[in-house]
Structure 1
């Protein structure tokens, strides 16, 4: 999914509040509509009755088939989202879809819910000029070694750069993969579950990796720990003080040539052995 603008995130929040569902449920329907170019929405979310399907014109199926209130909620959400998507300049939809969606004027009712005024909403951040469509990760990372998507999460792995880009709800977080050679990515059970990596070190939770950037903004590298200044050795007793004094005198004798190197080393070792 293209990255959402601040205005787009606010619209998702407004729709969630208006229909009494979470933002994640709204994002699920938005992604489903994008996947089908607005022709339909196949989704699976517990707040929306599990697996279901929506098509323009009033065809709505939910897991709880006799829950007409839930059907109306799904129909209202999908109708409003499709209307917003049809007005986005960066989303390609079939001819005639826009006029079909625009017939749902603000102020009408859709399945028992008042339709929010969609107005002119800039939902997605425009693609960077010169980049291929669908390249949602930061341009400086180049071409990924592998990509994938699970539920509402997308990821791209860059082996040479030692980076893993993860997109969730329109926000892109780039992680430093350190020395991990990634061979697989999986998501823990449950919607919004954390991603895990498979590497030569075993299973690694992505959230434990250092964050390199968020939405293109570099994070400050942690300051390296400052090693405490080493303190000079202080003898703990008069005996030790006397031994070190003797070693210093031996060093002077060695320097003057009175003691050979072998004699100095032997005497020094003998004194140190008494510590």
Structure 2
């Protein structure tokens, strides 16, 4: 059974007459455009060459890849459908699931309006609202419905992969014009959903500096009657130079200690 609104039926009837297509074919394309968030569509319509793909502002692909007239027809039709859907709801909202309190049209907040696509994985379910830039996610375990901010993404499909530890979205990911993204990578809309723990900012690597070494005391005694040997003094000055080069001693400190040691020779 078709779930078209009155506005949707009128628009599809008009497009059917102008493009010379059956209303069933145009309605199929309308569903495809809606599932693509108004910016893309994947379809399989015999009247339009079978399987194909459309993306707003991008390449249109049809089964007969060299039929440029058919490509133009699909591109123009999808563009008109996208524009019409931006101004009026084409499809009836799904029936209420028995939840009250602002959810009279479905399990998502009523102000979101009509979703472009819905789905579910196990006990969870989700709905995408391109015009509101929101994705609603019902965890199915009694937690409040979470709203994710989809930003500039035009979501065209959902998939599920093995979820990692702590992923509340069960590994559900989406595809958009930017690529494939896990739901857990989208920010929560203000004041909705479980709070994420803030990740600490990375700390800069500590700069290595050698630990200060105790000054070697020159050996005492010998033929000089208690004066240090030249070799010991020069070795100590060499260690002091390394500490100065590493920043542990200033030039003034190094010069003063060097003069003191040289005086012992």
TM-score, structure 2 normalization = 0.35
Instruction: Choose between structure 1 and 2: higher strand proportion.
Output: 1
